[in-house]
Homo-oligomer: A and B are copies of this chain.
Amino acid sequence: MPNTKKTPKNIRSKGRPRCFDRDKALFAALEVFWQRGYEPASISELCKAMGINAPSLYATFGNKAKLFLEAATFYEETYWDAPGKKFMAEPDIYKAIGDFFAESARILLSPDTPCGCMVVLAAVNISEDAQEIADAIRQLRLATKDMFAARIRQGIEDGQLPQDTDVASMAGAFNAMLEGLSIQARDGLSQSQLEKVAQYAIHILPDKIV
């Protein structure tokens, strides 16, 4: 039975040791999926980027779908966990939104990675027999919207937003803004331009009463 365990590698007792780094291979796969999307990323391209052959890929990650989902989770943890926590922890909701969208613009156009958010862009054009992939990634997008909603509710509780704020709609507006930024990032906007666009997210909040 092949060893599909993640880091730290399980305590092996017998067998030929794996001769590549599972995490590095996962990250290489992530970059391919991120840039191309789920279906255009072929197993052969993935193998090339990961520096392994197909049987090693399948023994280690199961299949293409599982590899993609693991890469997506890895992506979220690596790039969005910290900004998300900071966003939830910042007590001033105006600063929370401003900072989060500023940092988002930076992440979406980081020179070291593909442009735009993998969760938004990598599973849009999906054939019928891979809907499980589309559904799983959609859940991640909905989780982001839920994060916005939770922070808005906190803002209401803190007296920074009106009691009658329509939480779902406002969360949807922030989510639309963020998702739209990904598309513009991929469409070639400059980092400085994207940051300026992102700052319009603050306007979704009611005017701050100083």
Residues of A within 8 A of B (CB): 36-40, 120-128, 138, 141-142, 166, 168-170, 172-173, 175-181, 183-184, 187-189, 193-194, 196-197, 199-200, 203-204, 207
CB pair B207–A207 under 8 Å, yes or no, is: yes
A98 to chain B, nearest CB (A): 14
Name the CB-closest residue of B to A168: B193
Name the CB-closest residue of B to A42: B127
CB pair A177–B175 under 8 Å, yes or no, is: no
CB pair A141–B183 under 8 Å, yes or no, is: yes
Between A and B, 26 residue pairs with Cβ closer than 8 Å are: A36-B127, A37-B124, A37-B126, A38-B125, A39-B39, A39-B40, A40-B126, A40-B127, A40-B128, A122-B125, A124-B125, A138-B187, A141-B187, A142-B187, A168-B196, A169-B196, A169-B200, A172-B189, A172-B196, A172-B197, A173-B200, A176-B176, A176-B177, A176-B181, A178-B180, A207-B207
Which chain B residues lie closer than 8 Å to A128 at the CB level? 36, 40
CB pair A180–B175 under 8 Å, yes or no, is: yes
A185 to chain B, nearest CB (A): 10
Name the CB-closest residue of B to A116: B124
Roughly how many angstroms separate A10 CA and B44 CA in the complex, as a whole number? 46
Which chain B residues lie closer than 8 Å to A184 at the CB level? 172, 175-176, 179
Roughly how many angstroms separate A36 CA and B126 CA in the complex, as a whole number? 7
